[in-house]
Chains A and B, each alone.
Chain A
């Protein structure tokens, strides 16, 4: 599967992480809100990659708030 076949996910976590962490999370973009939440978003290769990302979230002790799959439109 090529990158443009990958599916976009959005992962929302508690806590602000700046964009420097993007590389840690496989290049997902990171947007923080004023209220102290961060959304990681971008294309993910497959389910295994998704779980890998969620593990990284877990390992940084970032409370997981939501995971969305973004329909390609």
Chain B
């Protein structure tokens, strides 16, 4: 599969992923009435001056309530990004995704880059992602508090390390608050010593006698004597959960004295004792509701109904909330709740004690509800808890094909993480799915083993069916028949990713033969493999066919994802072949498609980038800049650094051409940051930096690159062409003419044999320059003529213009010799030189018919048509029944969108583009 088949995990609105995210970053609403704890609030406020606040105390000390009420209700004027953590967040990608999302909820742009990086198939090192986040925060205005609630559930060492990194580089705008039951394994002693940490611990959080009195008598409406308050406070040691449970037990009791006496006289564990008391006082209905729903991590009315087999779920939840029964709302709409962890643990324990045999049944009901709603991860978890691993597996298997069609590999990965590895390996479809996930993330190591397992199991199942006539698994998925073919396809992908293109093609073609008609997903993968492998191995004809096939197949199904990617691929092939106009046409068509929606898919950015590169070559620097910037904006969110890399390089060329060398360097730095593959850095980015150095006249730095790069010139590799050409430029600059010539003379035939006209043109131009310099004028002229001949059909401009004065001389000579007269005249004009021959009438090609970045609205079209008929603004206003001002605004927008300065130009341009007749 193309490494880039991914859309952001929380794709569809209202998807399970979206809902979970919303509940995790929701700032808990503190209960309407809490005991005012000024002394603690004051310490928290003071702690804001330090970077990090740690609140470390066992369960039931009111940590979350304290932080929530402090941040929400104190009018501090700080913004809050909240993260409720749970065990599943031990996956670093998931953890930082949620953190970034929480911060993104504060300011969208702060998290954009980090989120984009997290969604790459091979995310860069966490430090890189965090640096992006830190930088974005440093550049923001305002302050935000990031709350990590329940950090004790995090055990993954990489997360601890990354968090340490974050705390070490905390920007002033960010303050981190952590609540936890155990001290986190961070360098706390160091933070304390440097006074970079504020701390609240159990002793601080205990209710004092006064606070206990306030809580019990004022808040809970009991009328306890100070003696009783004292006794309870002593028994519970100010433990808030204990006091709360005690209060609940006492509500409605005619006489509290017996209760207090019994409670304080017992050694029984407070929670155990009190939960029993509380439960005993509840109605039967409420009691059984609590017990049954204690199996759930999150509660919603319909879910509770399914589990309890009743219809009053929503009412129950709201009643529990009103009664202060340890239930916490997870959103504003009162759709989702959860129980306080401690309370839930104890109630759950009680359930296991009293109704052990029902537990499985309850989990089954939960699993069924979740499965029906499409919450795959939760469904499979409950199925596992119900002791039914096959069911859990089936749920995942059922939903896997759909999600892969949408390219949401991240979701598939999460689903598989919830299943025990032994379960995955015992089922062919899951093994296949796991292999897919690994392949996608470039973790090639375990893939072959999984594929072999899947193969073996499928073969075994067929045998079984053959002998017993029984259907294997009776699974709803249609994959089974195609497991063998799927394995071949994936082996092909594996080969491609390992760089063995020959084998990749072999396997892909084999798969194509035997795949059934309706295996659209695997077919699409095969064609992808063929397209990318043929492109990488330089078989441009086959690549063109493959990409064209993908375009044709998908154009009507509207799988725009594949369309854009194929258009990008086809465009690149066409460019490599020097067929610039065809490439532009390919991009144009795709861009028109993108313009049909308000929010183009991120992947559409790739064709904008390709268009930008073309415009640069055609010397339309402004146009190039606009397309490249828009393309980068979009493509950042795609899971493939390849197009981005080329985009950054192209934009850096544009900046260089506009004399912004610093800006150009910045872009290359950025490119380097997002590129996880060292080869790409070595053979594309670093040479680009050297190019900048040369342009600045900084020969020493360029030489240094050449030396450090240590390019092996023994066997010249196709995928290093750019670096070789750059080396030749450096040699040229160093005046090592003969070395340069020797290298170029070897490169040319290589490029030619591979059909790489684009590269060949540049090589020939450079060769001509060298030959000219060493006095071989005739050879120079012949070579240059060849270059012109190859370049003219595509209309290459920049390649020549970049060469400066030496090129001008060559152009003049060629022009005067009658070689490509019009073309050379145009090139000379582009270089700012008049042609030597006054009779030439060639005009520089400044405008090419480019598609609009932003299409005209219907209204704007109406106005434009009237303008074309010669109407003045007043007349237009009258005809369209709008105000004059409105017309002026429309006109101004039209001029903007068309990139022109007046009405006449607008009409000309619009006709050029075919927008009006």
Contacts and interface: CB of A to CB of B under 8 A. Distances in A.
Interface of A: 15-18, 20-21, 23-24, 32, 34-36, 38, 58-62
Contact of B345 (A18, A35, A59): A59
B617 to A, nearest CB: 61
B182 A61 contact: no
Given A58-B181, A61-B59, A16 B269 contact: yes
Contacts of A15: 267-270
A21 B275 CA distance: 14
Contacts of B755: none
Contacts of A34: 267
12 contacts: A16-B267, A17-B268, A18-B268, A24-B352, A36-B267, A58-B58, A59-B341, A59-B345, A60-B59, A61-B58, A61-B60, A61-B241
Contacts of B270: 15, 61
A1 B785 CA distance: 80
Given A59-B342, A61-B239, A61-B241, A17 B59 contact: no
B353 interface: yes
For B239, B269, B345, B346, which residue has the most chain A Cβ atoms within 10 angstroms? B269
Contact of B269 (A17, A35, A59): A17
Across the A-B interface, give the 6 residue pairs with the lowest CB-CB distance, nearest first.
A36-B267, A15-B269, A16-B267, A61-B58, A16-B268, A17-B269
Contacts of B239: 61
A73 to B, nearest CB: 32
A18 B352 CA distance: 15
A17 to B, nearest CB: 5
A20 B272 CA distance: 10
Interface in B397-412: none
A48 to B, nearest CB: 10
Given A16-B269, A58-B59, A59-B342, 12 more contacts: A16-B267, A16-B268, A18-B272, A32-B267, A58-B58, A59-B345, A60-B345, A60-B346, A61-B60, A61-B239, A61-B241, A61-B342
B581 interface: no
Nearest to B270: A15
A23 B59 CA distance: 21
Interface string B868-884: 00000000000000000
Interface residues of B, number: 21
Nearest to A37: B267
Given A20-B353, A23-B352, A61 B272 contact: no
A17 B268 CA distance: 6
Contacts of B268: 15-18
Contacts of A16: 266-269
B56 to A, nearest CB: 11
B271 interface: yes
A62 B271 CA distance: 10
Contacts of A23: 352-353
Nearest to A36: B267
B269 A62 contact: yes
Interface in B313-362: 341-342, 345-346, 349, 352-353
A24 B349 contact: yes
A34 B352 CA distance: 27
Interface of B: 58-60, 181-182, 239, 241, 266-272, 341-342, 345-346, 349, 352-353
A60 B349 CA distance: 11
B342 A60 contact: yes
Given A21-B272, A23-B352, A58 B267 contact: no
A18 B239 CA distance: 21
Contact of A17 (B60, B272, B341, B345): B272
A34 B269 CA distance: 13
Nearest to B181: A58
A58 B341 CA distance: 12
Nearest to A62: B269
Nearest to A34: B267
A61 B271 contact: yes
Nearest to B349: A24
B269 A60 contact: yes
A59 B271 CA distance: 11
Contacts of A62: 269
B349 A59 contact: no
B58 A35 contact: no
Contacts of A17: 268-269, 272
Contacts of B267: 15-16, 32, 34-36
Contacts of B346: 60
A25 B59 CA distance: 18
A62 B272 CA distance: 11
A17 B353 CA distance: 14
Nearest to B237: A63
Nearest to A51: B155
A68 B353 CA distance: 28
Contact of B182 (A20, A35, A36, A58): A58
A58 B58 CA distance: 7
A6 to B, nearest CB: 22
Nearest to B61: A61
A51 B574 CA distance: 61
B468 to A, nearest CB: 36
A33 B353 CA distance: 23
A21 to B, nearest CB: 7
| Residue in B181, B270, B271, B272 whose Cβ sees the most chain A Cβ within 10 Å | B272
Contacts of B352: 23-24
Given A15-B267, A35-B267, A61-B58, A21 B349 contact: yes
Contacts of A24: 349, 352
Contacts of A18: 268, 272
Contacts of B272: 17-18, 21
A32 B272 CA distance: 14
Contacts of A60: 59, 269, 271, 342, 345-346
Nearest to B273: A16
B59 A59 contact: yes
Nearest to B356: A23
Contacts of B341: 59
Contacts of A21: 272, 349
Contacts of A20: 353
Nearest to A61: B58
Contacts of A36: 267
A52 B353 CA distance: 21
B246 to A, nearest CB: 14
Contacts of B342: 59-61
A52 B270 CA distance: 22
A35 B345 CA distance: 26
Contacts of B266: 16
Nearest to B266: A16
Nearest to A24: B349
A59 B181 contact: yes
A21 B349 CA distance: 8
Contacts of A35: 267
A4 B58 CA distance: 34
